């Protein structure tokens, strides 16, 4: 450790990965006498609990339940918070620039900037669909659905009314499936509040691959399809969205689907600023890191979570999920401490803990530790994970 000087650890992004680095570092440094300043940066003053966004979009919970104030989380932790939008990273000069023209320097840099919506170059998708990547998106979607259903309640033309009440979801990964399940459960109450007729509710879920929840395999896809079908969600597999216009999806085989609400759940990509800053990136813009989460050829620059291409022991990139981002955050906090203390950090060994995906308030499907779980047991596990997560931030 360099003596008589405070070491600056700068963490970009207060999401699942970056916040975990900050919280764990605070715990690890507590009883040590190192001269270290940990600074956490985010464009928002809150931590987004993205896994709950489908509940915000369906009015099951409020914004505050899915966006926790960082001032509150960091209240009793020795972590400085700087709100601001990062615009570039200057690795040679060890500086990070913000949109307001200010800059911060660092000794160690952790890049945990997550991902943003990817529209896969589909014409009209960005302009005419609503994504579900930020808390503001979730609120916008909720308000949009309310407005369409209110309009439907006073629309006499039955065809026009059905279109207004159709909520089409593009992409059946966990974002699309969780939202579809929750929307169908919300529909009766939504119709009661707005006066729209329940019989006209339509929730088509479109997926270009042959599977729902593709990363979880055939059995999970079959289980999700069984549950969603019972919930009046119409699943269309092997269906490519080719073009989007206002209220219209043009899909494979020259088919067309009209809907009052078009939700984009079709994928994410790393922020452009990584490649724009000259960092080594893969073809999807994620920072290339080694098995210590260190950005290639950079001794003190690390990346993790959705914005990093983190290799497993076979060289394959580990999945972009909250649980991986958190584990990487914990690991990196220990590695940073080791480095500061002049010890060798350990290699990051990804553990496949699995996922649990809700399909409405009382259905879920999951593959914890490679097993298969569904029904009430999966619902309980999903809720337990959500509560446990919040408890780690208190």
Binding mask 238-277 for ligand FAD (x = CB under 6 A): ---------------------------------x------
Q: Mark residue 273 as left, alpha or beta (left: phi above 0; alpha: psi -120 to 50; beta: remaining).
A: alpha
Q: Does 44 bind ligand FAD (CB under 6 A)?
A: yes
Q: Which is nearer to ligand FAD, 32 or 85 (CB)?
A: 85
User: Which residue of 11, 53, 190, 261 would you call a contact of ligand FAD, by CB under 6 A?
Assistant: 53
Asked if residues 350 and 324 have their Cβ atoms less than 8 Å apart, the reply is yes
Q: Beta partners for 358?
A: 364
Query: Are 194 and 260 contacting, i.e. CB atoms less than 8 angstroms apart?
Result: no
Q: Does residue number 13 form part of the binding site for ligand FAD (CB under 6 A)?
A: yes
Q: Positive or negative CA dihedral for 331, 336, 341, 346?
A: positive
Options 216-224, 228-236, 291-299, 314-322: segment touching ligand FAD (CB under 6 A): 314-322
Which of 14, 55, 67, 167 is in the footprint of ligand FAD by CB under 6 A?
Answer: 14
Cβ neighbours of 72 (radius 10 Å): 13
CA distance 37 to 23: 13
Single out the segment in contact with ligand FAD by CB under 6 A; choices: 111-119, 161-169, 244-252, 369-377: 111-119
CB of 114 to ligand FAD, least distance (A): 3
Which is nearer to ligand FAD, 237 or 381 (by Cβ)? 381
Distances (CA, A) of 177 to 34, 224, 352, 369: 46, 8, 21, 21
260 three-class SS: coil
In this chain, which stretch among 31-39, 206-214, 227-235, 304-312 interacts with ligand FAD, using CB under 6 A? 304-312
- Contact region with ligand FAD (CB under 6 A), list: 121-129, 197-205, 318-326, 331-339: 318-326
Q: Per CB under 6 A, which of residues 169..188 are in contact with ligand FAD?
A: 174-175
* Residue closest to 138 by CA, chosen among 196, 203, 213, 66: 66
Which residue from 85, 192, 215, 255 is in contact with ligand FAD, where contact means CB under 6 A?
Answer: 85
288: number of Cβ within 10 Å:
18
Q: Which is nearer to ligand FAD, 117 or 194 (by Cβ)?
A: 117
Rounded distance between C-alpha atoms, residue 41 and residue 15, angstroms: 10
What dihedral do alpha carbons 387, 391, 393, 394 form, nearest 10°?
140
Stretches 38-46, 102-110, 121-129, 247-255: which one binds ligand FAD (CB under 6 A)?
38-46
**305 sits near ligand FAD (criterion: CB under 6 A):** yes
Asked if residues 139 and 123 have their Cβ atoms less than 8 Å apart, the reply is: no
With CB under 6 A as the contact rule, the residue among 11, 38, 89, 132 that binds ligand FAD is 132
Instruction: By CB under 6 A, tell whether 320 contacts ligand FAD.
Output: yes
C-beta separation of 67 from 48 below 8 A = yes
Q: Indicate the SS3 state at residue 352.
A: coil
Interface residues with ligand FAD (CB under 6 A) are: 13-18, 41-44, 48, 50-51, 53, 85-86, 112-114, 132-133, 174-175, 271, 305-307, 320-323, 325, 355
């Amino acid at each position: 450790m360099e003596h008589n000087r405070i070491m600056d650890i700068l963490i970009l992004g207060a999401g699942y990965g970056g916040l975990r680095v900050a919280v764990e570092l605070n715990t690890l440094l507590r009883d040590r006498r190192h001269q270290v300043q940990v600074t956490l940066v985010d464009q928002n003053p809150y931590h987004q609990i993205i896994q709950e966004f489908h509940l915000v979009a369906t009015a099951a919970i409020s914004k505050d339940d899915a966006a926790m104030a960082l001032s509150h989380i960091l209240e009793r932790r020795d972590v400085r918070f700087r709100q601001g939008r990062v615009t570039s990273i200057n690795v040679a000069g060890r500086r990070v620039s913000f949109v307001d023209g200010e800059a911060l320097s660092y000794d160690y840099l952790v890049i945990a900037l997550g991902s943003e919506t990817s529209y896969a170059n589909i014409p009209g998708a960005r302009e005419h669909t609503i994504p579900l990547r930020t808390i503001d998106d979730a609120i916008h979607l909720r308000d949009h659905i309310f407005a369409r259903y209110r309009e439907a309640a006073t629309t006499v033309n039955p065809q026009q009314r059905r279109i207004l009440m159709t909520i089409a979801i593009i992409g059946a990964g966990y974002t699309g499936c969780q939202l579809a399940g929750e929307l169908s459960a919300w529909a009766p109450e939504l119709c009661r509040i707005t006066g729209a007729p329940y019989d006209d509710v339509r929730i088509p879920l479109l997926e270009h691959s042959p599977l729902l929840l593709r990363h979880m395999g055939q059995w999970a896809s079959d289980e999700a399809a069984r549950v969603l079908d019972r919930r009046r969600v119409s699943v269309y597999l092997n269906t490519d969205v080719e073009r989007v216009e206002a209220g219209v999806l043009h899909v494979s085989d020259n088919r067309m689907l009209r809907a009052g609400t078009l939700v984009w759940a079709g994928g994410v990509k790393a922020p452009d600023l990584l490649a724009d800053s000259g960092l080594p990136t893969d073809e999807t813009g994620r920072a290339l890191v080694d098995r210590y989460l260190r950005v290639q050829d950079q001794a003190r620059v690390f990346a993790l979570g959705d914005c990093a291409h983190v290799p497993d022991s076979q060289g394959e990139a580990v999945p972009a999920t909250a649980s991986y981002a958190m584990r990487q955050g914990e690991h990196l906090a220990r590695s940073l401490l080791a480095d500061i203390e002049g010890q060798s950090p350990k290699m990051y060994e990804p553990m496949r803990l699995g996922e649990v995906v809700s399909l409405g308030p009382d259905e879920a499907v999951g593959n914890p530790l490679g097993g298969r779980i569904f029904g009430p047991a999966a619902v309980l596990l999903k809720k337990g994970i959500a509560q446990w997560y919040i408890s780690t931030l208190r």
